[in-house]
Amino acid sequence: MGRFIASCQTYEGGMGALPGVEAHGGYTFCGLAALEILQETTLVNVDALIEWSVARQMEVEGGFQGRTNKLVDGCYSFVSASSSFSYISRFLQWMGGLFPLLGAILARNSPNVTQISEDLDLKWLLNKGENFVLNGVVAECLTDALQEYILVCCQAPKGGLRDKPGKHPDLYHSCYCLSGLSIVQHDYMWNKQTADFLANDFLIGRSVGDPKNTLPTTHPVHNIRMEYVHQMKAYFASQ
């Protein structure tokens, strides 16, 4: 299965639904998340995937398009939310679910990137300035731009979230706009002991506007609350 998914990566760097078709943000996220679950992320060209992904953020709107030369769409805040690590770390906060996954791949592959252990003092590590996988310390202006697009342009006056102004809100766009908002409001690290993502709660002030805009942390692979993923894994591990 992993080889098939990897074969869907196009010359642009993203992934399509089938080998040889156009790269698309939704298929790219699903493909990379599936490879993460299968532990086969080494099959993709990560550099090309990063280059394609960061190019999807629109310069004026601040939101993301799902394909080259298409319009911005709020739902790609999540499915579309690692060179030297210092270069890549400037980009890891731009998009939704893709970039914590890309950061984890880099952390596993690079000896120069610290992977977080359970007993590591995260505040000490932050103060020490070590490189470790997280998706937002440097170029926060672009996380702000995405948050502003979601909060200002995607909220419908009568409730719900939407693709863009002029469109009607629906459950699909409400889900992925909120998921993308959560991703860029928080930082993620790769925990080598649990082989899973760890949310860093020590970096604050990432939310745009009222602090009440801050959402709970969503898991970048499963897109449900982090604590529910941990409960799910603990349950199946006990069976």
Q: What is the pLDDT at residue 152? A: 95
> What's the CA gap between 21 and 24, in Å, rounded?
9
Asked if residues 32 and 9 have their Cβ atoms less than 8 Å apart, the reply is no
Q: What is the pLDDT at residue 194? A: 82
Sequence-separated (6 or more) residues with CB below 8 Å from residue 173: 74, 75, 154, 160, 161, 162, 163, 167
Q: What is the pLDDT at residue 81? A: 60
pLDDT digits (tens, 9 = 90+) for 199-218: 766 555 578 888 889 999 99
Q: Please identify every residue annotated as catalytic.
A: 24, 67, 70, 73, 75-76, 163, 170, 173
Q: What is the pLDDT at residue 13? A: 94
pLDDT category of residue 234 using cuts at 50, 70 and 90: very high
| 70 or 89: which leads in pLDDT | 70
Mean pLDDT of 111-127: 45
> What's the CA gap between 147 and 213, in Å, rounded?
10
pLDDT at 84 over 80: no
pLDDT at 127 over 70: no
pLDDT digits (tens, 9 = 90+) for 53-62: 888 888 889 8
pLDDT digits (tens, 9 = 90+) for 1-40: 999 999 999 999 999 999 999 999 999 999 999 999 999 9
| 147 or 137: which leads in pLDDT | 147
- Least Cα distance to 35 among 111, 133, 101 occurs for 101
Q: What is the pLDDT at residue 126? A: 40
Residue 136: φ, ψ to 5°: 165, 90
> What's the CA gap between 70 and 88, in Å, rounded?
25
pLDDT category of residue 188 using cuts at 50, 70 and 90: confident
Asked if residues 26 and 176 have their Cβ atoms less than 8 Å apart, the reply is no
pLDDT at 141 over 80: no
Specify the 3-state DSSP secondary structure of 153.
Answer: helix
Q: What is the pLDDT at residue 41? A: 92
pLDDT at 72 over 60: yes
Report the mean per-residue pLDDT for the chain. 79
pLDDT at 193 over 90: no
pLDDT at 118 over 60: no
